[in-house]
Structure 1
Amino acid sequence: MSGERKPLSIRDLLLPALGAVLLLLGAGSGAVVERGQLDYSAQMKRHGGDVLDLGANGRPDASLQGYMVRVAGPVQVVEAPLDPQFNQQTDQPVLIRHVQMFQWRELHYGDTPTYELDWQDHPVDSAHYPQGHANPDKFPLEGAQFDASLVRLNDFVLAPALVHALIGSEPVKPDLRRLPGNLAASFSLYDDGLVTSPVPSHPQVGDLRVTWEAVPAQTVTIVARVEGNKLLPAIDATDGIGFAVQPGDVPLSVIFPDSPLQPEYPWPRRLLAVLLAGLGAALLLRWHYRRVDPILAPAIAVLVIGAVNAVLWLGNGNSTAAVWFALAVVGAALAFWRARVLRVDA
């Protein structure tokens, strides 16, 4: 019969099939970028949010306010730490005092315990030790950490929590000339420390040994939030820490090994996704309308990619979801308008 439609051949179906594949490929490529960004952002929220990687060039700036940043550079001590009890000071960012007492301790090498004297940094309970092996009940003074009150990194002022978290160690020899009079009468210098033993080489039970170490001024990497000219912990970080401190110039992938890598070149990849989807839409239009509309094809691409990405971000980043949804609405409006125009022209 002359009124019957001829069945479509494989050749006739090739154009719309290729168009559909390219449209889906574009939407999928865009979704991969957004999923990577979504996973990265969700994980980084544990540490306070997305991090601007400033590196050694990071300096205080109004545009950085409220952002998490990675800054690397040498630590500069402006106001040095002081151990007020012993009047000891260093030009390093952190000074740490260690206190040990010469005490009895119990050893087990068989069925019968043995006892020896050794330096210990905590009181050893000797209540069950045999007679003649009693230790003092407590230390007359304790170990402590003293942090510099003002430390800078690339013109940023470090919050006390960041200074306290600096790591590293180098011995500090005490300065007898700085000792207060009452302590100078009780302590003497021995092996780069202070001891209360009358004969330092032969300490007795209860004698004290006090030594110091410092965290050296060095190149460090810090991830923290910018507030004014300060680097502070992010109080809204779900990990309860909100900052990171590492010696050396360390990349984010090492500082946060549990975090997925941020997608590389996200905007060029998004643009490529739109171009792929637009090409697919153009092939579909060429098959359906026998022509390619230069507005309708990209409008369909923006509609599809915007809708898919808005769904991905919904509930995870509502502001980003709103942007993609707005783009989808714009694409839908343009597509509806051009489709009507094409129908009228037909």
Structure 2
Amino acid sequence: MGKDTFSITTEKSWFSRIGNAFKGILAGILMVLLSLGLLFWNEGRAVERYKTLVEGGGKVLSIDRDHVSPENDGKLVHISGKPETEEVLTDPDFGVSASAIKLIRHVEMYQWQESRRTKKKKKLGGGEETVTTYSYSQEWSGRLIDSRGFQQQNGHENPETMVYRPKTVMASHVRLGAFTLPQSLLTRLGNKVPFTVPADAEPKGTAAGSIRQGNGFYLGGDPSHPEIGDMRISFSVVLPTEISIVARQTGSTFKPYHTVAGGNIELLETGIHTADSMFSKARQSNTILTWMLRFAGFFLMTVGLSMILSPLVVLADVVPMIGSIIGAGTTVIAALFSAVLSCVTIGIAWLFYRPMLGFTVLGAAFLIGVLLFRRIRGSEPVMPPPVPPEEPPPVP
């Protein structure tokens, strides 16, 4: 595996940096607005999903997979069992066939990969020196890496195309008892396992002359000494296994169930699970996603506010030590104000969806704001009271 490295050093003047900082204010404002929209939308999404799952949990019916009951048509149903198919899936490019729900072709190509590492150093007077180190290594990758965007293209050229791409062949007719599974559910089936290519399988077309390696094929010269453009092909399958589904019964198949709350329900889990446990897990997933998006909105807002305050840092960078202190202070201020604005945004959103919680969140934001204001006031120097002028001694 080859690897080489080189560095490029660039410098920016103080005037160039201050100009870029002021230009970044607009980008910072846009990031703050985007974070506000994300936070507000996320609360609405979370409430809708919560109400959807609560509504679905109160309506779901567990049904017999071996009998299609017309009276359940259009209702939210729960069903468990092992799906079955009689189809034999084939990858014609490599002559590989398997009796499975999915046949997946995995493709890797040996290519150049560029990575970069940047180190910045502030200089007296406000300038900045940036050293960017580019490293090139030869690695196996499942995607085509475009070397035309490399900083140093000469000697690091990758093929412009991949002769073979990853591919998934899926059964078109899969039964679960008396029901047929739709493609929307089949695509979500996982638990893939490695598939051993039969001994009589032979590559087709340009793959002729390839080498059998492990459970697949090696397209190239010597597998122990790969060269740029060599490819590794392997396969995996998704076999029938026990699953549980919650969805709307439509004839002898299933579709997403649309709730009065406005959301859709189409749940699938590997293994035998009760409807209650599936809804419980779905609510947990909704909570996790909600907090992830909250932190994402908070982080985005912090970055945006830091960009708005960045001209102060650059102005102070005339003396690098002072600039570093100011930079740390602006980051803390940006994070504190982001916490306040995030709580306010979430509280306002909850006022639309759950007023009681909305007032609670707004109260927490108000408390944080008061503490922040007191801390800022406490950091101001206290001026001593004025000393009254001395009165002249009485004239005897």
Superposed pair shares fold, TM > 0.5: yes
C-alpha change, 1:183 and 1:176, in structure 2 (3 Å) is farther
- The CA distance in 2 between the partners of 1:229 and 1:96, in whole Å, is 28
1:214 maps to 2:234? no
Given the superposition, is the C-alpha separation of residues 44 and 208 from structure 1 closer, same or farther in structure 2, using an over 3 Å criterion? Answer: same
The equivalences for 1:253-292 within 5 A come to 253-257=276-280
Q: Aligned-pair RMSD on alpha carbons?
A: 3.3
Letter in 2 for 1:247: T
For 1:43, give the aligned amino acid: T
Equivalent residue for 1:99? 107
Q: Counterparts of 1:212 and 1:194 in 2: how far apart (Å)?
A: 10
Residue matched to 1:125: 146
Which residue identity does 2:268 align to in structure 1?
Answer: V
Matches of 1:201 and 1:48 in 2, distance apart? 56
**Which structure 1 residue ranges, 5 or more long, are not aligned?**
1-38, 261-346
Deviation at 1:78, TM superposition (A): 2.2
TM-aligned CA deviation for residue 49 of structure 1: 9.1
Q: Deviations over 1:107-142 (max 9, x none)?
A: 457863332211101111223234211111222221
8 A contact 1:47–1:241 mirrored in 2: no
Q: Work out which of the residue numbers 19, 41, 62 in structure 2 matches 1:53.
A: 62
Corresponding pairs, count: 221
Q: Distance in 1 between matches of 2:183 and 2:236?
A: 19
| Residues 177, 48 of structure 1: alpha-carbon distance in 2 compared, 3 angstrom cutoff | farther
Which of these residues, 184, 187, 202, is aligned with residue 225 of structure 2?
Answer: 202
- Structure 1 counterpart SS, 2:194: strand
Residue 89 of structure 2 is matched in structure 1 by 81
- Looking at structure 1, the residues matched to 250 and 209 of structure 2 have their Cα atoms a distance apart, in angstroms, of 47
**Residue among 137, 140, 143 paired with 2:166:** 143
Distance in structure 1 (CA, Å) of the matches to 2:143 and 2:49: 44
Bigger Rg, structure 1 or 2: 1
Is residue 218–residue 248 contact of structure 1 (8 Å, CA) maintained in 2?
yes
User: What's the offset of the Cα at 1:47?
Assistant: 6.8
Distance 2:211 2:105 in 1: 16
Find 1:160's aligned residue among 157, 162, 183.
183
Structure 2 residues without counterparts, runs of 5 or longer: 1-47, 119-131, 285-396
**Secondary structure, in 3 states, of the residue corresponding to 2:81?**
strand
What secondary structure sits across from 1:112 in the alignment? strand
Deviations along 1:280-320, whole A, 9 cap, x unmatched? xxxxxxxxxxxxxxxxxxxxxxxxxxxxxxxxxxxxxxxxx
Instruction: Return the offset for 1:166.
Output: 0.5
Identity across the alignment (%): 27
Q: Does structure 1 retain, via aligned residues, the 8 Å contact 2:81–2:242?
A: yes
Supply the distance in 2 between the matched residues of 1:162 and 1:99 (Cα, whole angstroms).
25
Instruction: Quickly say closer, same or farther: Cα 1:173–1:143, change in 2 above 3 A.
Output: same
Letter of the 1:252 counterpart: A
SS at match of 2:133: coil
